[in-house]
Structure 1
């Protein structure tokens, strides 16, 4: 009868030893995750998000599980393969643990008979998807590394280490399966179509005499790498694997129809409390949802690719802005005056056109515009603006356009600009 023998090829003490080894890694993971997420008030953020909890779950399904924005781009397919493969293999590992640690002592096996055979084939198929996606991602990042700016290098190296770690897990998983068939041949090995072929190759290479020793060594290193990746999650860019799905549920994923107001005059009149803060100088002045969203950023650069200000050669880079704020958040510098310390530069803030193209492009629903507006308001409130910016704001207030033109001339200006653009293209 086909059945999953989880600890059948390791010493009897290995089962307890594995859980003892995992304990410190689990503590590091839980403490780190608590530090990153506990302050955000995620339940309130998600339940009060656009459309409520039902819409939040829908966004999680469409943009989290199905990866709609990621899959729309050619280089998004490796990530989709990694994501789906990882989910399936994680689910498979969980089922194995339930089968061995919970149902087996109760006298019932989940992974037995035909169920187990289908399980093996399904896991092998998505294991291939996982490995292929990782190889494509590794090649892409190595090719791109030389052209990566200094501000991106650190996070790119983190991604390379993460990819290599996951690739090691994927490949050693197949090798362990192959060694299991060499040490303990079974008639149903063909259902594990990758493992059985790899077992044939390893047998031809003369691995048989050292198969048991190799299996035990790989078994422990496989576990150690897996535990290390789990423990590092809250402290590295891999944090986005938790923060991004939560942010997808919390944010609407589309530009706001109008800018938010810094205060409600009617409420001020009712309370008689006129001590209000118009803009923001630090992360602590921002809404907790905006601060939490910074942790979801993967530094992918899709916002830069669609930013018109970036295309025109201005100082603004939505990616660098978000990453600078993210670094301050993770360092615990939430009360630091980012304007005074020049973490957020004035030129960057004024270069933004608030078109929200970055919001539409971000695969994890980060909203760079929502960070820029509060800081820009602070510059206005503190009169940290030059003559040109003063005229710009006066024109907007007086004529509802940046040029101060009468309403009847705005259509004429738009036509002239379109004509000029057409001439330049020719």
Structure 2
């Protein structure tokens, strides 16, 4: 009967890992709903960005306090979870602290000591984050889009991290054989006296309970990521790698429009020539985006990677002047609509059934789109290279080229450019009249 815990552990591992694999499959499927976008250029620069921005957190520390706390949580959580490997081996094979049979006591002790110190660092940082959100109430966490589930999600993940770190320390503190080594218990030795009145059998039960809750908590946490903004833990690296490298002010041109403009400017072109016959089976090209399927897969990856930190919105000049636009909301709305489309596909056996809704109007309003000044402040501020502006511009392109729904002022300007060669309502012949008045 001694093998029953090992079987139960293997079952938990298979269920947790299997559900995680299912979620990853759905995630990849949803991202691939976007348009193809080939990104194979400048691999060396992309790897450099990944190392500096995603791994090195170079953009996080532009706000020193939050940046430092985030680095502590980030480094601590990753390194502490190296210990999960030992837990998995112990759980599957019935061993206890297998690391001690492989490594010298001093080396093993150094590793566990590092984990315990980092666990305390994570606890302090997480508590500081909770205070910033719920007591100090920083303005960027109080926006309309942060009410309800987004606020709860931000707190739930903090509670998760507190519980996991506490379980890790309690597990070490109640492990009599580990404490007897007097190596590596730099923090847990101060927690152990809290359990000094318990019998050896009771201590063992507490240690085993903390051990089981710790590993089960990690499996739950892993699968919670798919439903949380903390999916960026997994997606930040590919998102930064595929991030925009072109100059921040450079926009993409539509190939069909570019070709038509070049034709208009070609003096040798026949203006009366019949257009080339299109393929009868070809799907008419749609300009811009009105729903998530019209965006690129990179836009959708951006949406899933959004951390909801609000740095983009706090830097947005339109938002600062009271406009409705929030770049963070643009990303959250895109992710919510993409999730809705994915659920629709799941419910209809792999086929999307039109639901009468779309990203434009049902999630993101025209008022939000036209409030953007295209200054790129949101793109520059994002710590994981998300580009809300690209989504905004694609939706604007749809409004202008598919619905002719540009604001009146913009229509006037475009008409003036077409008729007068300038944004102003003056005939070209009258441009120099101002000089004659002096």
TM-score, length basis structure 2: 0.78
Q: Distance in 1 between matches of 2:47 and 2:307?
A: 22
Shift in alpha-carbon separation, 1:255–1:297, aligned structure 2, 3 A = farther
The answer for the alignment partner of 2:73 in structure 1 is 82
1:294 and 2:303 matched: yes
Q: Distance in 2 between matches of 1:400 and 1:353?
A: 23
Q: Distance in 2 between matches of 1:45 and 1:168?
A: 42
- The SS at the match of 2:103 is coil
Shift in alpha-carbon separation, 1:300–1:201, aligned structure 2, 3 A = same
1:165 and 2:181 matched: no
Q: For residues 11-410 of structure 1, what are the structure 2 equivalents within 5 Å?
A: 13-38=4-29, 40=31, 48-52=39-43, 54-73=44-63, 74-94=65-85, 97=88, 109-143=101-135, 144=137, 148-153=142-147, 154-181=149-176, 185-186=179-180, 188-203=181-196, 206-208=197-199, 210-252=202-244, 256-264=248-256, 273=278, 275-332=284-341, 338=358, 341-381=361-401, 382-394=403-415
- The SS at the match of 1:219 is helix
- Retained in 2: the 8 A contact 1:121–1:192? yes
Shift in alpha-carbon separation, 1:95–1:75, aligned structure 2, 3 A = same
Cα distance per residue 1:255-310 (max 9 Å; x no partner): 53421112245778898649432222111111111112110012111111111111
Q: Distance in 2 between matches of 1:302 and 1:67?
A: 14
Q: Distance in 2 between matches of 1:251 and 1:63?
A: 11
- Retained in 2: the 8 A contact 1:179–1:212? yes
Moved more, 351-360 or 338-347: 338-347
Long gaps (5+) in structure 1: 1-9, 407-426
Shift in alpha-carbon separation, 1:403–1:346, aligned structure 2, 3 A = farther
Q: Distance in 1 between matches of 2:211 and 2:138?
A: 32
TM-score, length basis structure 1: 0.80
Q: Distance in 1 between matches of 2:38 and 2:253?
A: 22
- The SS at the match of 2:82 is helix
- Retained in 1: the 8 A contact 2:53–2:383? yes
The answer for the alignment partner of 1:4 in structure 2 is none
Q: Distance in 2 between matches of 1:78 and 1:400?
A: 54
Shift in alpha-carbon separation, 1:57–1:197, aligned structure 2, 3 A = same
Q: Distance in 2 between matches of 1:400 and 1:308?
A: 30
Moved more, 211-220 or 281-290: 211-220
Q: Distance in 2 between matches of 1:325 and 1:15?
A: 43
- Retained in 2: the 8 A contact 1:82–1:129? yes
Q: How far 1:208 sits from its partner (Å)?
A: 4.3
Q: Distance in 1 between matches of 2:337 and 2:418?
A: 34
Shift in alpha-carbon separation, 1:257–1:396, aligned structure 2, 3 A = farther
Shift in alpha-carbon separation, 1:387–1:282, aligned structure 2, 3 A = same
Shift in alpha-carbon separation, 1:271–1:215, aligned structure 2, 3 A = farther
Long gaps (5+) in structure 2: 264-274, 343-351, 428-438
Moved more, 280-289 or 116-125: 116-125
The answer for the alignment partner of 2:272 in structure 1 is none
Q: Distance in 2 between matches of 1:145 and 1:311?
A: 15
Q: Distance in 2 between matches of 1:400 and 1:247?
A: 41
Moved more, 329-338 or 11-20: 329-338
Q: Distance in 2 between matches of 1:101 and 1:111?
A: 19
Q: Distance in 2 between matches of 1:404 and 1:363?
A: 43
